[in-house]
Structure 1
Amino acid sequence: MGKWWPLFLSLLGVAQVGHAQQQPAQDQAALAKDCSNKVYQDSLVARYLDRGAHRVSYLSPQWAQYCDSLIAACPTIAYAYQQKAMPLIKCGDYAKAFPLIDQAVALDVNRWLAYRGFLKCIFTKDYAGALTDFRRVAQLKPQGREMDHTYAFFMGLCNLEMGKYKDAEADFAEDMRLQLGADGRGEIHFNTLLYAGVLALKKKQYPQAQTHLERCLKAYSQHPEANYYLALAYQAQGKPALARQHLAASQRALIGGYRLNEDNIYYANYPGQITEFEVIQAQKKLAD
């Protein structure tokens, strides 16, 4: 018995090594199967994003490394591609960012199509492309929102910037209708009123522009753009004193740090967004 015991142990060791060598292949097969499981996907997101990328700066190389690890573990998680693209978007590297966003849309169109339309509208100024995305997602989710706004809001911005004023007017009217709700008691976002006012100003409908912009200022009195464009509406109606008053208010707001109050204004300019330069130029024109 003593002679056979070492041989038995050596054979057992060989069997265990063989089992260990087979284990990675089995694990890989299990992981591939589990990748379609939502619970498993959530566990990967928690591991690589919640407890990984989101604990470092998005400017750190580690952010992309965590995203790459998540994609390697499960290449069908759309959120991984969007998160990898996010720092690139904020840094203006759209050429690298948009293929990742396109992949996110391909994997989860309901979640990321409107987001891509938003990026096209605000970041890259691809208004025609943004319109295409928002029209498509509006059919999928008629009551949907992106960045706290209806899809009609962004469609209105696109048409406004493209000079399609009749379409923009219809879009902003639909945006207001959706915000008011079926009972008509909802609140209209102050930036909807801002852009409706800008649109009326471009159409030289000055009293209507004044109405929209005054309503905007009731909701957000320090709004720099609303004060600025209201000043232009007053100036066009031959009311220089009121124009000067609102230009001064716009300048004070800008100096005080007030802005459009949209989350992404630090990374991209919204349509019609102003700086103190525009205010000073308008003041000089009034003084002439």
Structure 2
Amino acid sequence: MSCSTSGQETNKISESSLTDDEITKRYLEKGAWTLRYFSPEYQSYLDSAIHENPNIAYYYQQKAMPYFKLGKYEVGLKILEKAVELDPKSYIDYKAFIQCIFQKNYQNALESFITAKKIKGVNGYVMDHSYDFYIGLCYLQLNEFEKAVKYFEASISEMLKSNSESWVHHLDLLYAGIAFQELNNHEMAIKYFDRALKKYPNFSDVKYYKSISLFRLGLLEVADELLNSCELDFKRGFTINEDNAIYEKYPYQIKQFYIDMLRLTKR
């Protein structure tokens, strides 16, 4: 197995006797993919593939991916930039997703999603969610709540236009409700929370935020009852169920002490 640094000189294609398929089979299928993502040998196999052909964007994405899962965002993004440079159409939205959910650099993620819309179209999707969903999430995290509402509603409306209510994702509804709650519009927030609970009845995070709105509206008894239900579901693991939630906490995802504090303050 030959090794190189992570393709620091990647503009020159080595005179490999292997085809791209043969490189992938040797160094990924029979190499890196048989190992733990986090092992040094995994990285060595990817370096070898890059050494054989430094112009395959996918190799850089595969090399970068374990670093994101380890929280080494700057290291991973430096490598991923090469994949974006080589094949922007395939990797610009993946980069934006990493910046938003993993790195939590919301301003840069916004810029990347705007670029993704220009390259791939305004109604693009990445990791099962629309670009508008992520843009709304970025604005929510930047405390620009009216803009967040605009993009969450756009994401939901587009799904309703092309499919039906059953296709609307419960996270779009959760975050739209939270954005309205941040704007002190608790009636509208509850409408979105109720729609989310129809899709995911045990969703503890939705029950928590709905409880806040109920407390704010003075419906103390109903709010207390819902908060008790929230805690039971939370302890049973009914929370945000995205694949990448095992690596990263999602915005506004609840913890036990959130529940404890809300029960104490009721506001």
- Cα gap change, 1:280/1:185 in structure 2, threshold over 3 Å: closer, same or farther? closer
**1:75 has 2:54 as partner:** yes
Give SS of 1:181's match.
Answer: helix
1:189-208 matches, cutoff 5 A: 189-208=169-188
Instruction: After superposition, give the CA deviation of every residue in 1:123-162 in whole Å (9 maximum; x if it has no partner).
Output: 1211110011101111222232111000000000001111
Q: Given residue 96 of structure 1, which amino acid in structure 2 is its aligned partner? A: V
Return the TM-score normalized by structure 1. 0.83
Paired positions, count = 253
- Cα gap change, 1:243/1:56 in structure 2, threshold over 3 Å: closer, same or farther? same
Give the whole-Å Cα distance in 2 for the aligned partners of 1:233 and 1:30. 63
Give the whole-Å Cα distance in 1 for the aligned partners of 2:141 and 2:182. 11
- Cα gap change, 1:173/1:108 in structure 2, threshold over 3 Å: closer, same or farther? same
Give the whole-Å Cα distance in 2 for the aligned partners of 1:186 and 1:104. 35
Among residues 71, 92, 99, which one is paired with 1:120 in the alignment?
Answer: 99
Instruction: After superposition, give the CA deviation of every residue in 1:178-211 in whole Å (9 maximum; x if it has no partner).
Output: 2223365661100000000000100011110000
Aligned 8 A contact 2:15 2:52 in 1: no
Aligned 8 A contact 1:179 1:186 in 2: no
Among residues 157, 163, 167, which one is paired with 2:137 in the alignment?
Answer: 157
Q: Tell me, which stretches of 5 or more residues in structure 2 are unaligned?
A: 1-13
Aligned 8 A contact 1:150 1:178 in 2: no
**1:41 has 2:2 as partner:** no
**1:132 has 2:122 as partner:** no
Q: Tell me, which stretches of 5 or more residues in structure 1 are unaligned?
A: 1-27, 35-39
Identity %: 32
Give the whole-Å Cα distance in 1 for the aligned partners of 2:227 and 2:184. 19
1:242-257 matches, cutoff 5 A: 242-257=222-237
After TM superposition, give the deviation of residue 50 of structure 1 in Å.
Answer: 2.2
Larger radius of gyration: 1
After TM superposition, give the deviation of residue 30 of structure 1 in Å.
Answer: 6.0
1:87 maps to 66
Give the whole-Å Cα distance in 2 for the aligned partners of 1:48 and 1:183. 41
Instruction: After superposition, give the CA deviation of every residue in 1:39-69 in whole Å (9 maximum; x if it has no partner).
Output: x323322322222211111121111011111
Supply the RMSD in Å over aligned alpha carbons. 1.7
Instruction: After superposition, give the CA deviation of every residue in 1:233-275 in whole Å (9 maximum; x if it has no partner).
Output: 1111111112112211221122112220111112222111111
Between 248-257 and 105-114, report the one with greater CA deviation. 248-257
